[in-house]
């Protein structure tokens, strides 16, 4: 794992012609949620990765083309979103109701 | 050995923060997590900077481990309570590591940083230097560490437990999806390995499932209790989590962690791979 990447920020250095990037932010009550746990689940709902959102509520995963579920767990509650990802940049927002 | 000997709850930690003879240690992949706030009094161990040999791919040798623990103020008689991010992956790796070097009393905080944070428990930014000690480690206990030749020889004859996600097992991706998918090794898994992802042993808040649930999980997935076992993942930290479950929580005998894991195996010339 060698240094968990910082969440959010610029895409500099990421090859979007080969990487399938799934990124976005977590929101609750009209504001981004910092420090939320966000996990990426595969088509069978199995855990693939988990990150903690940046101070701006951002997360980023490097996946593969296909259907994924992004689930957020924070002190304020849970939210989830299904996304069909393709090679390149795939953006989504997870709202915690 | 039972669950109570090797696991403590977040409540227990909060009640015992000031108790002498206990050292709380945060072990992270992302070492900035500790700097942003940690359990009051906890010592920091950076998985990469502190626990890996700076030159070769290996953990620290005995004298370097002794120097590290001495400098952090950890004594041979201290109870060491480990916790960290990533659902305790790196804390479990450190647990296995402390056992390799014979530390007598070491435990994990169930749920790690995540459970502590989700509960809204207090974090401190203060540094807590401890007076240096003269730590003396035992010779490495290699009965819990597997090397590559042993792994190749185990194909078809031991439980090989691949604890990575199903998409890594099948070769669809090469690393957990919080990392860029650019790796030099081949994709796939060791022939005859069974895929029991580490995550099936944990609840969503990072705590371990109950002993009953865990016993059922491995039984259902084809784990053979009559065989010796080797667990592996990508770099040996998630498989430490599963080693902890099998060896320390379920009390299974002859369980080894292959810390070379897929980064080594997937780069070996001529070994069999399945996808």
Q: What is the mean pLDDT of each run of 10 residues along chain B (275 residues)?
A: 92 97 94 91 94 95 98 98 95 98 98 96 92 98 98 98 96 87 86 97 96 95 95 97 98 97 96 96
- Does B171 share its domain with B250? yes
- Does B11 share its domain with B33? yes
Range of the domain at A67: 20-96
- Give me the number of domains chain B comprises: 2
* Residues in chain A within 8 Å Cβ distance of B165: 42, 46-49
A12 domain residue, yes or no: no
Strands (E), chain B: 7-8, 22-28, 43-46, 79-83, 106-109, 159-162, 194-195, 229-232, 255-257
Please judge whether A48 and B179 are an interchain contact, meaning their C-beta atoms are less than 8 angstroms apart.
Answer: no
B166 domain residue, yes or no: yes
A70 touches chain B (CB under 8 A): no
Please judge whether B237 and A1 are an interchain contact, meaning their C-beta atoms are less than 8 angstroms apart.
Answer: yes
A77 touches chain B (CB under 8 A): no
Give the domain CATH number at B99: 3.40.250.10
* Residues in chain A within 8 Å Cβ distance of B235: 1-2
- Rounded Cα–Cα distance for residues A51 and A44 (Å): 20
- Give me the number of domains chain A comprises: 1
- Does B150 share its domain with B244? yes
Strands A20-28 and A88-96, by their bridges, are parallel
Please judge whether A63 and B173 are an interchain contact, meaning their C-beta atoms are less than 8 angstroms apart.
Answer: yes
* Cβ atoms within 10 Å, residue A77: 13
B273 domain residue, yes or no: no
Range of the domain at B236: 144-265
A78 domain residue, yes or no: yes
- Rounded Cα–Cα distance for residues B100 and B97 (Å): 5
What ipTM is given for this predicted complex?
Answer: 0.85
- Rounded Cα–Cα distance for residues A94 and A32 (Å): 10
How many Å from the N-terminal Cα to the C-terminal Cα in chain B? 37
Please judge whether B118 and A74 are an interchain contact, meaning their C-beta atoms are less than 8 angstroms apart.
Answer: yes
B270 domain residue, yes or no: no
Cα dihedral value B43, B47, B51, B57, nearest 10: 180
What does the DSSP 8-state code read for residue B237?
A: S
Give the domain CATH number at A38: 2.60.40.10
- Does B68 share its domain with B125? yes
pLDDT-derived band at A2 (thresholds 50, 70, 90) equals very low
A10 domain residue, yes or no: no
**Residue A50 parent element (H or E):** strand A47-52
A75 touches chain B (CB under 8 A): yes
Among B165, B180, B234, whose Cβ lies nearest the Cβ of A47? B165
The HSE-up count of residue B147 (CA atoms within 13 Å, CB side) is: 5
Closest CA to A26 of A62, A60, A64, A66: A60
Q: Is B233 a catalytic residue?
A: yes
B271 domain residue, yes or no: no
Question: Exposed, middle or buried: residue A81 (CB in 10 Å: 0-12, 13-18, 19+)?
Answer: middle
For B47-83, letters b (16+ CB in 10 Å) and e give beebbbeeeeeebbeeeebbebbbebbbbbebbbbbb
A20 touches chain B (CB under 8 A): yes
B84 domain residue, yes or no: yes
Round the CA-based radius of gyration of chain A to a whole number and report it: 13
Task: Select which of B81, B146, B233, B263 is catalytic.
Answer: B233
A54 domain residue, yes or no: yes
- Does B229 share its domain with B243? yes
pLDDT-derived band at A1 (thresholds 50, 70, 90) equals very low
Distance from CA of A11 to the nearest CA of B (A): 12
B176 or A2, greater pLDDT: B176
């Amino acid at each position: 794992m060698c240094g968990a990447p910082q969440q959010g920020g610029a895409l500099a250095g990421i090859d979007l012609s080969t990487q399938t990037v799934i990124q976005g932010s977590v929101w609750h009550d009209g504001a981004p949620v910092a420090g939320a746990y966000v996990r990426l689940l595969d088509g069978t709902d199995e855990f693939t990765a988990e990150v903690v959102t940046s101070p701006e509520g951002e997360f980023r995963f490097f996946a593969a083309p296909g259907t994924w579920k992004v689930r957020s767990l924070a002190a304020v509650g849970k939210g989830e979103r299904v996304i069909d990802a393709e090679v390149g940049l795939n953006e989504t927002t997870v709202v915690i109701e | 050995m039972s669950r109570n000997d090797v696991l403590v709850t977040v409540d227990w930690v909060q009640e015992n923060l000031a108790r002498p003879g206990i050292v709380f240690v945060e072990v992270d992949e992302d070492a900035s997590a500790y700097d942003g706030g940690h359990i009051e009094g906890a010592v920091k161990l950076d998985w990469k900077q502190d626990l890996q040999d700076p030159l070769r791919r290996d953990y620290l040798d005995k004298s370097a481990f002794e120097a590290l623990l001495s400098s952090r103020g950890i004594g041979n008689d201290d109870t060491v309570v480990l916790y960290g991010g990533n659902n305790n992956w790196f804390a479990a790796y450190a647990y296995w590591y402390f056992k390799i070097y014979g530390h007598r009393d070491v435990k994990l905080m169930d749920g790690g940083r995540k459970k502590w944070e989700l509960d809204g428990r207090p974090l401190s930014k203060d540094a807590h230097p401890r007076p240096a000690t003269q730590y003396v480690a035992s010779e490495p206990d290699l009965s819990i560490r597997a090397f590559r030749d042993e792994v190749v020889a185990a194909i078809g004859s031991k439980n090989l437990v691949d604890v990575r996600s199903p998409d890594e097992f099948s070769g669809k991706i090469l690393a957990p999806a919080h990392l860029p998918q650019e790796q030099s090794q081949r994709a796939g898994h060791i022939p005859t390995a069974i895929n029991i992802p580490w995550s099936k042993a944990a609840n969503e808040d990072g705590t371990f499932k109950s002993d009953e649930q865990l016993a059922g999980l491995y039984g259902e997935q084809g784990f053979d209790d009559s065989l010796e076992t080797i667990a592996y993942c990508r770099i040996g930290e998630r498989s430490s989590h599963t080693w902890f479950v099998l060896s320390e929580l379920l009390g299974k005998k002859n369980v080894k962690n292959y810390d070379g894991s897929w980064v080594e195996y997937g780069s070996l010339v001529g070994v069999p791979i399945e996808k």
